[in-house]
Amino acid sequence: MLAEERQRLILSLVNTRGSISITEIKRKLRVSRETIRRDIMALDQSKRLRKTHGGAVSMEQSEPEMNVRQVMNPEGKRKIGAAAAGLVPDGASIIIASGTTTQAVAEALMGHRDLTVFTNSVIVCGKLMGHNGNRVYMLGGEVQPINGATLGRDTTGMLANYFADFVFIGAGAVSPAGWLMDYTREEGELHSLMLQSARTAVVVADHGKFGRFAPIRVGNFEKVTHLITDRTPDPEIMAALEALPLDVLIADGRDND
């Protein structure tokens, strides 16, 4: 196969998937990893994709809008939300990031009492405020219409005043190397700060987020104590996660319905 044809196929795979690993490309094209690395480097230099550690992401890549994400794997997210809420006692303080999986956490927490909640999500705020003695703090900043959330310096500045018992954030992607990734610098910075602002740090991510890439690597992943998902990740990703000081919890719903 000529290099030009190979690169065209790689670009098609990346643009279709949004992101892809070298291992996946090797499986599909049956060429060496070194050949794939050279092709990705050439495509990166010509600005047709973005090279990442272990793979590539599409230059066309962006996160789907909230209304699209809300109908993606709702049952899996419901189970994740129930498992996450099961960690939280009444009276706890919680930081909850924006996102459809964290919305499922908020829904599962609606039966809890006397929570203190800090969130940048308008939707999470609406679900938990005024219920069962909860106190809800909406983190300041400009509201982003695409995700119904505040982001930016005002948001991180307000969050810096607080420390909670628990934090729940979602994932834009979890790479094959076990990196937590996001789609914008503002989200990545906020989520990184959130992870260091609680005693128990929890990432909630359905199986569709694994083995993918997003443009921004989120810091403080080593502070995560629990990662809750709805299916066991592939062995390569599990091996990377097992090297971190966290527990991977698979939410099957049997104990949480």
Q: Is the pLDDT of residue 46 over 90?
A: no
Tens-digit pLDDT profile for residues 63-108: 656 665 666 789 999 999 999 999 999 999 999 999 999 999 999 9
Considering only 109-123, 227-241, 243-257, which range has the smallest mean pLDDT?
Answer: 243-257
Topology (CATH) of 3-58: Arc Repressor Mutant, subunit A (1.10.10)
Cβ burial 174-207 (10 Å sphere, 16+ → b, else e) = bbbbbbbbbbbebbbbbbbbbbebbebbbbbbbb
Structural domain boundaries of the chain?
3-58, 66-250
Q: What is the mean pLDDT of residues 22-26?
A: 92
Per-residue confidence band for 257, with pLDDT thresholds at 50, 70 and 90: very low
**Whole-number pLDDT of residue 63:** 63
Q: Pick the residue with more confidence: 51 or 191?
A: 191
With tokens 């009492």, the residue in question is 113
Task: For domain 66-250, give the CATH number.
Answer: 3.40.50.1360
CA 71 to chain centre: 17
Backbone angles phi, psi at 46, to 5 degrees: -90, 5
Structure token digits, residue 40: 């990705």
Per-residue confidence band for 256, with pLDDT thresholds at 50, 70 and 90: very low
CA–CA–CA angle 92, 230, 22 (5° rounding): 120
Residue 185, CA atoms < 13 Å, CB-side half-sphere: 2
**Whole-number pLDDT of residue 70:** 62
Q: Is the pLDDT of residue 213 over 60?
A: yes
Q: What is the mean pLDDT of residues 149-168?
A: 97
Structure token digits, residue 161: 């005043």
DSSP string for 74-142: HHHHHHHHHHHHTTPPTT-EEEE-SSHHHHHHHHHTTT--S-EEEESBHHHHHHHTTSTT-EEEEPPSE
32: helix, coil or strand?
coil
**Whole-number pLDDT of residue 255:** 46
Considering only 1-15, 60-74, 98-112, 113-127, which range has the smallest mean pLDDT?
Answer: 60-74
Dist CA 226 CA 49 (whole Å): 32
Single pTM value for the model: 0.77
Average pLDDT in the chain: 90
